[in-house]
Structure 1
């Protein structure tokens, strides 16, 4: 199979590309500024801006498309918008894939998009899912919880939140996460490309442990004290600091403080995988500190 991985030079894409090559597929990575560093030598690269329509030349000649292009959920970088990248980008990839007669389209979404929490990230991801579902393509959608591993954005974000000894944390014991290791997620994405049983399915994916944000901070920082901040005070603070790009907390972050970002039934089992066999964040951090 000849697979186009949009956003494939990123954190998750690098792991997926290695898995696809090991399984005998040809891989092309498409991104705005493709960087071959971290990619296997056998991977081809092509520059593409998915926010602009007319991607036919990029997609023609491929059998499948994986859409991993995304902005971090906790920020909206200057000059880029979640709506343009996640919604418009998906819309343009889907339209070109339909014209090219692509055999399989895999969409990476996020756990929590249907939670009722209104953030720019969730709103754009939700609309993108709708585009994929309503298309003529044979699609598979994945909604993972936070993904960790070498080069991830999640652990540096938590490190930004945490102070050396005492960390004031709004919603620290209310926000639940189910982190999944990128090397456990990548084979599941590849399975979605290869196995017809997964067509038309939306999978909610998580790792083997459920942690509060406070517990996550303590594991990543190797200890320390987390002090809960009253939600009313946090709401005021979020409004004040929201315009400041260097502070990793604003109104959208406040809105997800009470979100249960865990799975009801971990859909890794649909791929013949036991949740207990997956790597925990705790084990990964322990290895990193050896």
Structure 2
């Protein structure tokens, strides 16, 4: 199979490209500024900006497209928006795939998309899912919880959010996460390309641990006190710092406090994977600090 991985030189994209090459597929990693570092030598690279509606030349000739292009949920870089990248970008990729005869489209969404939480990230992701579902393509959608691993954005974000000795954390005991290791997720994404039984399915996937945000911070920091602060105070702080681009907390981050970002039934089992076989965040962090 000839696969185009949009966002293929990114964190999850590199892991997926390695799996696809190992399984014998032809792979092209596309991004605005493709970087071959971290990719297998067999992977070709291509320049593609999903905010551009003219993507046929990049998509043409591929049997399948995987859309991993994303902005981190906790930031909105200057000059970009979740609407432009997640929704419009998906719409452009889907249209190009339909026009060039692509058979299968795999979409990476996010756990919590249907939670009712109203953030720019979730709104754009919800609209993107509808575009994929309505497409004249074989589609598979994945909604993972937070994804960790070498090169991820999640662990550095937590480190920025939390000083090493004492962390003041709104919603620390109310926000739940189910972190999944990127090298556990990537084979499941590859399975969605290869196995017809996954067509038309939306999978909610998490790792083996259900952790509060406070527990997650403590693990990443290797200790230190985590002190909850009143939600009313957090709301005021979010309003005040929201216009400051380099502060990793704002109104949208406040809105997700208290979100249960875990799976009711972990769909990892749909890929022949038991929860016990998945790598925990604790084990990953222990290995990283040996």
Same fold at TM > 0.5: yes
- 1:101 CA displacement: 1.5
Q: Corresponding residue for 2:85?
A: 85
Q: Secondary structure, in 3 states, of the residue corresponding to 1:114? A: coil
Q: Does 1:103 align with 2:119?
A: no
> 1:176 is matched with which residue?
176
CA distance in 2, matches of 1:217, 1:197: 38
The equivalences for 1:134-173 within 5 A come to 134-173=134-173
Match of 1:221 in 2: 221
Supply the distance in 1 between the matched residues of 2:86 and 2:109 (Cα, whole angstroms): 9
Q: Is it true that 1:287 corresponds to 2:275 in the alignment? A: no
Q: How many residues align?
A: 290
What residue in structure 1 maps to residue 56 of structure 2?
Answer: 56
Question: Which structure 2 residues correspond to residues 187-202 of structure 1 after superposition, within 5 A?
Answer: 187-202=187-202
- Match of 2:264, SS? coil
Task: Report the equivalent of 2:34.
Answer: 34
SS class of match (2:35) = coil
Q: What are the Cα deviations for residues 247-271 of structure 1, in whole angstroms up to 9, with x where unaligned?
A: 1000000000010000000000111
- In the alignment, the residues of structure 2 paired with residue 164 and residue 15 of structure 1 have an alpha-carbon distance, to the nearest angstrom, of 30
CA distance in 2 between counterparts of 1:217 and 1:173 reads: 11
The structural deviation recorded for 1:103 is 1.3
Question: CA offset at residue 52 of structure 1?
Answer: 1.2
Runs of 4+ in 1 over 6 A off after TM superposition: none
- 1:223-238 map, 5 Å: 223-238=223-238
Residue 264 of structure 2 is aligned to residue 264 of structure 1? yes
Deviates more, 1:162-171 or 1:149-158: 162-171
CA RMSD of aligned residues (A): 0.5
* CA-CA distance at 1:220 after TM superposition: 0.3
Deviation at 1:289, TM superposition (A): 1.2
* Corresponding position of 1:254: 254
Q: Could you tell me how far apart the structure 2 residues matched to 1:228 and 1:247 are?
A: 19
Q: Deviations over 1:223-274 (max 9, x none)?
A: 0000001001100000000001111000000000010000000000111110
Aligned residue for 1:94? 94
Query: Secondary structure of the equivalent of 1:233?
Result: helix
For residue 93 of structure 1, give the secondary structure of its aligned residue in structure 2. helix
Q: 5+ unaligned residues in a row in structure 1: which ranges? A: none
